Amino acid sequence: MSEVENIELSIEDARKLVARKDAALKLATNREFKQLILNDYYVDEAVRLTSCLGQPQMKNFEAEIVGDLKAIASLRQYFQTIITMGRNAESELVEAQELLEETRAAELEG
């Protein structure tokens, strides 16, 4: 695979990451998603589960409760990772496109 092809693949990968970031940010502005996930799940459910940990009658369910809290954290981290990777890809995309132009020009000269 040529250097140009490698750069083109990296540009395509970066574009996919940017598109995923854009989708995640768009989703975060959706009214139903904000209510169900960002408010009800991330906040209200986390508070409810944390409260359950302090109740003696829930002691037998501690492992399940902690697992549910970890699930909330995991989903939140998943979306945050998508956004971070997309933002990083946006800045790398400009550099990769410039490098592609330079590499193509060099191949034409050489």
| Cα–Cα distance for residue pair 48/65, rounded to 1 Å | 10
The pLDDT, as a whole number, for residue 110 is: 67
Q: How far, in Å, CA of 43 to CA of 59, rounded?
A: 22
Extract the tokens encoding 11: 């540009």
Using CA atoms, how far residue 40 sits from 21, 44, 58, 101, in Å, is 22, 5, 21, 48
Specify the pTM. 0.84
Give the residue from 80, 106, 107 showing the smallest Cα distance to 21.
Answer: 80
- Using 50, 70 and 90 to split pLDDT, how confident is the model at 106? confident
In this predicted model, what pLDDT tens digit does every residue of 5-53 receive, in sequence order? 899 999 999 999 999 999 999 999 999 999 999 999 999 999 999 999 9
Q: How many residues does the chain have?
A: 110
Average pLDDT of the chain, as a whole number: 95
Per residue in 78-91, pLDDT tens?
Answer: 999 999 999 999 99
